[in-house]
A and B are shown apart, each in its own frame.
Chain A
Amino acid sequence: EAGVAQSPRYKIIEKRQSVAFWCNPISGHATLYWYQQILGQGPKLLIQFQNNGVVDDSQLPKDRFSAERLKGVDSTLKIQPAKLEDSAVYLCASSLVAGGDNEQFFGPGTRLTVL
């Protein structure tokens, strides 16, 4: 079974530029998550989708971050414009159904460096 795919794996941009990350969850998984992991910290949930609807985006900085999950499969996370403090690893995860007790399967992440 294929795992969660993410691209690109690495991205370097300058501040005020925009960037987009892509995630393809495990086939059949209805719930998709985006996390931000700053160096030395644990992952922090940015947004959770159930199919193509948003369940929780309370931690998403909506003035610069946006995410969508068209057709309830792939998802993109965008930052525009980027700030230095956005340097982090962005993790995508998926689970069969919603609910934290259900195992989340993580992708390898995209490491973003903002100069």
Chain B
Amino acid sequence: GDSVTQMEGPVTLSEEAFLTINCTYTATGYPSLFWYVQYPGEGLQLLLKATKADDKGSNKGFEATYRKETTSFHLEKGSVQVSDSAVYFCALSKDYKLSFGAGTTVTVRA
């Protein structure tokens, strides 16, 4: 079935460091891809999405490009802040269903 595999955490970075979280997917057809973020004490919220191959989603300095050839949707940010500390979930949507990866915990130190 359709599934998402993302980089295991936890990841600890210093402020202004470069962040990348790997995400690969398995699906037939052409799913849409998402990154959701969960800040401490809050609910999941959509960070960015891409609905077709070669699309780039971006928001709050984060970017991810839908790569069909490598079935990947890696999340990147060039300079992280303490406020980016959160759990990040990669997800795919197909047949009206959202399937999530296990989540990657990111901690940014001042």
Interface positions of A (Cβ within 8 A of B): 3-4, 33, 40-45, 48, 55-56, 91, 93, 98-101, 103-109
Contact = CB atoms under 8 A, between A and B. Distances in A.
Interface of B is mostly: strand
8 contacts: A42-B89, A44-B100, A48-B97, A91-B43, A98-B96, A100-B98, A101-B32, A103-B46
B93 A101 contact: yes
B45 interface: yes
A67 to B, nearest CB: 16
Given A44-B100, A93-B44, 17 more contacts: A42-B100, A42-B101, A42-B102, A42-B103, A43-B89, A43-B100, A56-B96, A98-B96, A100-B93, A100-B95, A100-B96, A100-B98, A101-B32, A103-B49, A105-B45, A106-B44, A108-B42
A33 B44 CA distance: 13
B94 interface: yes
Nearest to B41: A108
B51 to A, nearest CB: 6
B92 to A, nearest CB: 8
Contacts of B21: none
Given A42-B91, A43-B100, A91 B32 contact: no
* Residue from the set B49, B96, B103 with the largest chain A CB neighbour count within 10 Å: B96
A91 B41 CA distance: 13
Interface in B39-77: 41-46, 49, 51
Nearest to A108: B43
B97 A56 contact: yes
Contacts of B49: 101, 103
* Residue from the set A48, A100, A105 with the largest chain B CB neighbour count within 10 Å: A100
A45 B98 contact: yes
A104 B102 CA distance: 18
Nearest to B92: A100
A106 B42 CA distance: 9
Closest 6 A/B residue pairs (Cβ): A100-B93, A42-B100, A106-B43, A106-B44, A108-B43, A100-B98
